[in-house]
Amino acid sequence: MRCEIIAVGTELLMGQTTNTNARDIARELSSLGVGVYYQAVVGDNEERLADVFRQALSRADLIILTGGLGPTEDDITRETVARVLELPLEKNKAWEEKLEKFFARFKRPMVAMNLRQTMVPQGGRLFHNDRGTAPGIYLEREGKLIILLPGPPREMLPMFKEQVIPLLREKLRDQGNLGVLQSKVLRVFGLGESAMAEMIQPLLENQDNPTLAPLAKGAEVHLRITAHSSTPEEAEELIERKAEEVRAILGDYIYGEDEEDLEYAVAKLLWEKGKTLALAESCSGGLLSHRLTNIPDSSKYFLAGLVTYSNEAKINILGVNPELIASLGAVSNEVAREMASGVRRVCHADIGLGITGIAGPGGETPGKPVGLTYIALESDRFQFSNRYEFWGDRQDVKQRATQTALNLLRLYLLGKLKAK
């Protein structure tokens, strides 16, 4: 199956938005064994879109268009595709009702313009969209598959993964073309990309099927294992055998797989061990609380996250000794320890964690550079604290501080963190 991806939008053409949709779709398709032969970007211009779409029809079996399904006049994908295929647009009653309910529920006016989003080229099936008002549209025409998806990535990508991929999988199976290309990602924290590559060098050198691909991702490294086979079971087995070899070398540097991020790993351990957690954040500004509360049901173990930004808040709410702040500064090992211990006491939590540092760009003092951060963890008869220097801008420092704190929590819950 030969695929072509067309992204529609003047904001893409002018470089105001990055075309992450084409990248994400291509990545997903490659795991199905579908080859993308061309990608194109066109603006909100009917003639040019029609030309590009006609050309794609002439050479591809699967054409995926993203964007241009909004309610306004410059959203032209639906109309242009219908015109090129010589199909009339018909109102989809079910989607109209859905939109009416949606607008009523959120007390927003439904204007005439929104009705454009209920129009579907004749014979089109819908992909449901519960994150926006535009449905996706699926058409078949002379053996070619045509798929229209909304432009916003947070609507497009879940729709693609949850509805388009299963449909394509079915089509490929019907055509007898469903080879299996499967992959698993091992997520690594605490090693740089080259350090990790050096450790698994023998495996990287002799790869064939499965293949191994390391990829630096922000503060962590992902190792993708990809196997090709005729059945999912066989591919799975090939991957699992290779993953075992990797695990034997990297051990606890691997914290999770695929979509499991570090907050998920910590949440799972807290849940399994029946421990409660309270945080005292300063430089990380609430990001650690935010990340942990992104996990559903986090209220089961997450009691509170107190972002005590000012010194007064540290003193009044956490009971940090003001003399310590005066003599050593708020960014110090001792204050981090008092924050961890204070928040644990105030919230009656099993585990207390404190973070204090300098996120920058201002705030540097002699001996205390931007990025300097202390993290402390306290539980019953256990204390740990350490000094870190994180690099990058304000958001990088926040991200790396929380990543490190999450990894400390993980190691503690695994019984692998030494008191300090």
Residues 204-223 that bind a second copy (CB under 8 A): 204, 213-218
Torsion sign (Cα): 89, 91, 92, 95: positive
Query: Residues 82-101 vs a second copy: string with x where CB under 8 A?
Result: --------------------
CB of 205 to a second copy, least distance (A): 8
Closest CB 384 distance from a second copy, rounded Å: 18
| Residue 109 and residue 82 in contact, taking contact as beta carbons nearer than 8 Å | no
How near is the Cβ of 245 to a second copy at its closest, in Å? Answer: 18
State how far the Cα of 145 lies from the Cα of 409, in Å rounded to an integer.
48
Interface with a second copy (CB under 8 A), residue from 58, 86, 105, 381: 105
289 binds a second copy (CB under 8 A): yes
β-sheet bridge partners, residue 188:
221, 254
DSSP per residue, 145-169: EEEEE-SSHHHHHHHIIIIIHHHHH
In whole angstroms, what is the distance from residue 63 CA to residue 53 CA?
Answer: 8
| 154 sits near a second copy (criterion: CB under 8 A) | yes
Question: Which range of residues in 38-46, 139-147, 238-246, 410-418 is near a second copy by CB under 8 A?
Answer: 38-46
> Cβ distance 119 to 91 under 8 Å?
yes
- 139 versus 351: smaller Cβ distance to a second copy: 351
Site map (CB under 8 A) of a second copy, residues 398-417, x = contact = x-------------------
Nearer to a second copy, 321 or 386 (CB): 386
Site for a second copy contains 364 (CB under 8 A)? no
| By CB under 8 A, residue 70 contacts a second copy | yes
- The answer to whether residues 244 and 387 touch, using CB atoms and an 8 Å cutoff, is no
- Starting at the earlier edge strand, list the strands of the sheet with 382-389: 277-281, 351-357, 372-379, 382-389
CB atoms within 10 A of CB 123: 13
Q: Is 307 in the site for a second copy (CB under 8 A)?
A: yes
Cβ proximity to a second copy, 139 vs 303, nearer residue: 303
Between 87 and 317, whose beta carbon lies closer to a second copy?
A: 317
Examine residue 20 and tell whether it contacts a second copy (CB under 8 A): yes
Which residues lie across from 389 on neighbouring strands? 372
- Taken in order 258, 262, 267, 268, the sign of the CA dihedral is positive
Per-residue mark of binding to a second copy, 162-181 (x: CB under 8 A):
--------------------
Interaction of residue 365 with a second copy, rule CB under 8 A: no
Residue 106 within binding range of a second copy, rule CB under 8 A: yes
Q: Would you count residue 157 as binding a second copy (CB under 8 A)?
A: no
Task: Report the half-sphere exposure of 73 (CA within 13 A, side-chain side).
Answer: 0
104 forms part of the interface with a second copy (CB under 8 A): no
SS3 sequence of 39-65:
EEEECCCHHHHHHHHHHHHHHCCEEEE
Instruction: Give the C-alpha distances (Å, rounded to integers) separating 93 from 96, 111, 118, 120.
Output: 5, 16, 7, 10
Verify binding: residue 382, a second copy, rule CB under 8 A.
no
Contact positions with a second copy (CB under 8 A) in 247-276 = none
Q: Are 141 and 188 in contact (CB under 8 A)?
A: no
Candidates 140-148, 228-236, 243-251, 282-290: pick the segment binding a second copy (CB under 8 A): 282-290
The answer to whether 285 contacts a second copy (rule: CB under 8 A) is: yes
1 is an interface residue for a second copy by CB under 8 A: no
Options 120-128, 267-275, 289-297, 406-414: segment touching a second copy (CB under 8 A): 289-297
Cα–Cα distance measured from residue 31 to residue 8, given in angstroms and rounded to the nearest whole number: 24
